[in-house]
Structure 1
Amino acid sequence: MNIDIQKINAIAIEAGKAILEVYNDEQAASSVSYKSDNSPLTLADMRSNEVIVAGLEKAYPEIPVLSEESADVDCEVRKNWDYYWCVDPLDGTKEFINRNGEFTVNIALIHKDAPVLGVIYVPCKETLYYGDANGSFKQLTGEDAVQIKATEKPDDWVSVGSRSHADGSEAEYLSAFPVTEQLSAGSSLKFCLIAEGLAQIYYRKGPTMEWDTAAGHAIALQSGAIMQGINGEAFVYNKLSLRNPGFVCRVPFEGR
């Protein structure tokens, strides 16, 4: 599949602009509804989703789109997809509501059960991360893209965890690795920290959905990191249930 990742980058940036229009309007930003699972939904989620779906359907009409805001596609239909877009139009809705700027736009291309391309845009920082078979890159607005790589280290690892979803089992799991420092970050930014070598491990017991991880998975993978289930199993997509099991994203360690 021949995909021009720059077209996807442009769509993510446009979606980020739509989010910021809401974010910078205090009245609009404070308008929050809740889905059936009690997860928050903002006007920014919906506007970003409209931009992304329209952009992807125009650029690549032959590739179906699975988005958090339109995820009710029957598995009997999904299982026949060779390629599809996996989209989170606003990852880190709680960060958006809390106004800490740590929210992202996530777009990934899935081939069968694996992500092969990922784009993450951070609207408040005007920072773009993306990765495909050519490697992973970071680009600030108005600057050239710079290739990024996960940093393998024998010791003094930095772990990164969720700002909004900390888990008590994290310390026990991380004790098997040479972690000496811990950071917290919102949304898919945790994958970006791994990909650019600022952290070496991200453990998450759950829960997450496929659109939460797909873009970050692709970027981390193409930077040289590993993404797997907590017990070392393959971490796959287009499952019967779109809910993910626990996972760890990390750099290689002593042959593992």
Structure 2
Amino acid sequence: MLEIFEKTALEAGRVIITIFEEGCAVAMKADSSPVTRADEEAERIILAHLARSYPDIPVIAEESVAAGQVPDIEGKAFFLVDPLDGTREFVDRRREFTVNIAYVENGIPVAGIVYAPALGVAFAGEAGHAEKLIVGTDFTVMERVPIAVREPPLNRLALASRSHNSPATDKFLFEQAISECTNIGSSLKFCLLAEGKADVYPRFGRTMEWDTAAGDAVLRAAGGTTVTVDGLPLTYGKTGVKADFDFANPDFISWGGKVNPARMRMTSEENP
């Protein structure tokens, strides 16, 4: 499956870079998030590849959902696709945007790829194996390097969203006695945890499943975890939740090393 993901992501990334270099107009969706021709073209490519290779597996893709095209996934494995994660980075001419493709079984992201075409790097993982791909300017893979999370060092490094930081994140870092924090856009935060360059990514605030599934799959394959603030594994395929939109994530914490969920719950309860 990762072979198909890789081919698909590289093709989508080539189109995204072409549009990035040419420049394009930006529109706003109903939820006030930006969308560009790069989002739409990349999703078209990804959906075509997945339909051809896996015609019986439904796909939940960001722009299709925004257009009201939501297949039934009840009791099924499915794909989650964000054709251009970090559209704000793309629009602002920063290079941290990514192509995200994930496969979900029983609510768990078991395979995924995150490709940052402007940085020439991709991350892929499934079945307990994760790797970093170095991608050339011709959009072919030049090198593959196995990756894994690191044991938490004495001075842990946290990652936070460049565009969506919050006071709750600062509160979490204080509670966990973490003084070092780097801001970065898109799902690359999961990948830095997966390759052992950082230790924790707390996210308090709205994310959607297509934002996180591919990076989460890579992180879990590299030995990391993603849990809710109650210490439970973050799951996917959340529909029919009265308190929120379909496919919306709750607040979560992604850890590069081992985490004690009981301690996570205790910290939350001690500091409401």
Asked if these proteins are the same fold (TM beyond 0.5), I'd say yes
* Contact 1:18/1:47 (<8 A) preserved: yes
Q: Match of 2:254?
A: 249
Q: 1:17 to 1:114 in 2, by over 3 A?
A: same
Q: Match of 2:73?
A: 78
Aligned length: 248
Q: Match of 1:102?
A: 96
Q: Match of 2:14?
A: 17
Matches within 5 A, 1:170-185: 170-185=169-184
- Are 1:143 and 2:142 matched, yes or no? yes
CA displacement 1:173-206 (0-9 Å, x = unmatched): 1234352311111000100110011110000011
Matches within 5 A, 1:201-216: 201-216=200-215
Q: What's the offset of the Cα at 1:126?
A: 1.6
Q: Match of 1:39?
A: 33
Q: What's the offset of the Cα at 1:162?
A: 0.5
Instruction: Choose which of 65, 68, 76 in structure 1 pairs with 2:59.
Output: 65
Q: What's the offset of the Cα at 1:254?
A: 6.4
Between the aligned partners of 1:163 and 1:152, the Cα distance in structure 2 is 25
Between the aligned partners of 1:186 and 1:32, the Cα distance in structure 2 is 18
- Give the SS at the match of 1:131: strand
AA at the equivalent of 2:6: N
Between the aligned partners of 1:107 and 1:121, the Cα distance in structure 2 is 9
- Give the SS at the match of 2:118: helix
AA at the equivalent of 1:250: W
The percent of aligned pairs where both chains have the same amino acid is 37
**150-159 vs 15-24, greater mean Cα deviation:** 150-159
Give the gaps of 5 or more residues in structure 1.
Answer: none
- Give the SS at the match of 1:24: helix
* Contact 2:190/2:215 (<8 A) preserved: yes
- Give the SS at the match of 1:238: coil
- Give the SS at the match of 1:125: coil
Q: Match of 1:56?
A: 50
AA at the equivalent of 2:59: V
Between the aligned partners of 1:87 and 1:135, the Cα distance in structure 2 is 21
CA displacement 1:46-67 (0-9 Å, x = unmatched): 0000110001111111211110
Q: Match of 1:221?
A: 220
CA displacement 1:9-53 (0-9 Å, x = unmatched): 010010001111110102xx2x01111111111000000001100
Between the aligned partners of 2:259 and 2:218, the Cα distance in structure 1 is 22
Between the aligned partners of 2:183 and 2:73, the Cα distance in structure 1 is 34
Between the aligned partners of 1:74 and 1:67, the Cα distance in structure 2 is 8
AA at the equivalent of 2:229: I
- Are 1:111 and 2:105 matched, yes or no? yes
**145-154 vs 186-195, greater mean Cα deviation:** 145-154
Q: Match of 2:116?
A: 122
* Contact 2:85/2:98 (<8 A) preserved: yes
AA at the equivalent of 1:78: I
- Are 1:7 and 2:1 matched, yes or no? no
AA at the equivalent of 1:109: Y
- Give the SS at the match of 1:144: strand
Give the gaps of 5 or more residues in structure 2.
Answer: 136-140, 240-245, 262-272
Between the aligned partners of 2:159 and 2:11, the Cα distance in structure 1 is 28
AA at the equivalent of 1:92: G
Compute the RMSD of aligned alpha carbons.
Answer: 1.5
